[in-house]
Amino acid sequence: MFEKILIANRGEIAVRVIHACREMGIASVAVYSQADRRALHTRLADEAVFIGPSEADQSYLSFDKILTAARQTGAQAVHPGYGFLSENADFAQAAADAGLVFIGPPPSAVRAMGDKASARRLVQEVGVPVTPGYEGLDDLESLAREAGILGFPLLVKAAAGGGGKGMRVVWEKAEFEEAAAAARREALHSFGDDHLILERYIPKAHHVEFQVLGDQHGNLLHLFERECSVQRRHQKIIEETPSMLLDDNLRSRMGESAVAAARAAGYQNAGTVEFIVDPETRQFFFLEMNTRLQVEHPITELLTGIDLVQWQIRIAAGEPLSFAQEETLPRGHSIECRLYAEDPSINFLPASGPLLRFIEPRGPGVRVDSGFLSGDEITVHYDPLIAKIIVHAEDRPGAIRKMVEALQGTVVLGLTSNSRFLLDVLAHPDFQTGKVHTTWIEQTFDEWQHPQCPIPPEVLAAAALTQFQDSGTSYGVNIDLQRQGPDPFSPWRASSSYRTGE
Residue 27 in any domain: the answer is: yes
Of 200, 229, 259, the residue at which a domain comes to its end is 200
Question: Do 255 and 382 lie in a common domain?
Answer: yes
199-244 pLDDT per residue, tens:
999 989 999 999 999 999 999 999 999 999 999 988 999 999 999 9
In sequence order, what DSSP letters do the residues of 309-332 get, joined into one string? HHHHHHHHTTPPPSS-GGG----S
Whether 265 maps to a domain, the answer reads yes
At residue 490 the predicted structure's pLDDT band, cuts being 50, 70 and 90, is: very low
* CA–CA separation, 184 and 157 (whole Å): 8
Q: 83 with 155, same domain?
A: no
Long-range contacts of 177-186 (CB under 8 A, 24+ apart): 177/140, 177/144, 180/140, 180/143, 180/144, 180/156, 181/140, 183/156, 183/157, 183/158, 186/158
Segments forming the whole domain that contains residue 156: 132-200
The pLDDT of residue 493 is above 70: no
Name beta bridge partners: 385: 340
Report the alpha-carbon distance of residue 241 to residue 329 in Å, rounded: 13
- Whether 484 shows a pLDDT value over 50: the answer reads no
Measured CA to CA, the distance from residue 9 to residue 177 in angstroms comes to 38
Q: Are residues 242 and 184 in the same domain?
A: no
334 forms bridges with which residues in the sheet? 241, 392
Of 225, 238, 226, the C-alpha closest to 407 is 238
Residues 357 and 321 both lie in one domain: yes
What is the structure's pLDDT at 469? Answer: 57
Sign of CA dihedral 340, 343, 344, 350: negative
Residue 489 falls inside a structural domain? no
Looking at residue 298, the DSSP 8-state letter turns out to be H
Domain count, the chain: 3
- How much is the pLDDT for 248? 97
Tens digits of per-residue pLDDT, 287-296? 999 999 999 9
Report the CATH number at residue 216: 3.30.470.20
Contact indicator for 165, 187 with CB cutoff of 8 Å: yes
User: CA 352 to CA 117: how far, in whole Å?
Assistant: 36
* Tens-place pLDDT, residues 284-328: 999 999 999 999 999 999 999 999 999 999 999 999 999 999 999
Domain membership of residue 70 (yes or no) is yes
Residue that terminates a domain, selected from 200, 234, 250:
200
Count CB neighbours of 492 within 10 A: 9
The answer on pLDDT for 477 being more than 70 is: no
186 shares its domain with 292? no
| pLDDT classification of 468: cutoffs 50, 70, 90 | low
Identify whether residues 152 and 45 lie together within a single domain: no
What's the mean pLDDT in 418-427?
98
DSSP 3-state of 349: strand
The reply to whether 189 and 231 lie within a common domain is no
Reply yes or no: is the peptide bond before residue 279 cis, omega within 30 of 0. no
Work out the average pLDDT over 364-374.
Answer: 97
pLDDT over 60 at 462, yes or no: yes
Which active-site residues does the annotation give?
292
Is pLDDT of 471 > 60?
Answer: no
249, 359: one domain: yes
- Of the two residues 20 and 489, the one the predictor is more confident about is 20
The reply to whether 91 and 152 lie within a common domain is no
Whichever domain contains 93, its CATH number is 3.40.50.20
- Whether 104 shows a pLDDT value over 50: the answer reads yes
Q: Distance between CA atoms of 164 and 146, rounded to whole angstroms?
A: 22
Residues 329 and 261 in one domain: yes
Mean pLDDT of the chain: 91
Nearest to 368 by CA among 348, 380, 385: 385
* Residue 388 falls inside a structural domain: yes
Is residue 72 situated within a structural domain?
Answer: yes
Quote the pLDDT of residue 371: 97
Beta bridge mates, 270: 213
Other C-beta atoms closer than 10 Å to the C-beta of 332 total 16
pLDDT per position as a tens digit, 74-103: 999 999 999 999 999 999 999 999 999 999
Cα gap 218→224, rounded to integer Å:
19
Split at pLDDT 50, 70, 90, the class of 435 is very high
Q: Please, what is the Cα angle at 127 between 122 and 130, to 5 degrees? A: 70
What is the H or E stretch that residue 140 is in?
Answer: helix 140-150
Q: Are residues 355 and 221 in the same domain?
A: yes
User: What whole-number distance in Å separates Cα of residue 61 and Cα of residue 49?
Assistant: 15
Give the percent of the chain with pLDDT over 70.
90
CA distance 382 to 54: 9
Q: What percent of the chain has pLDDT over 90?
A: 82
Length of the chain: 502
Of 147, 178, 200, the position where a domain reaches its end is 200
Residues 38 and 85 placed together within one structural domain of the fold = yes
| pLDDT at res. 451 | 86
Residue 472 pLDDT: 46
pTM: 0.88
Dihedrals phi, psi of 475, to nearest 5 degrees = -115, -15
What pLDDT score does 475 carry?
A: 36
More confident residue, 166 or 429: 429
CATH number at residue 157: 3.30.1490.20
Quick one: pLDDT band at residue 467, thresholds 50, 70, 90? low
Sorting pLDDT into bands at 50, 70 and 90, what band is 389?
A: very high
Predicted local distance difference test score (pLDDT) of residue 83 = 93
Q: Is residue 490 part of a domain?
A: no
Mean pLDDT of 137-153: 91
Residue 271 lies in a domain: yes
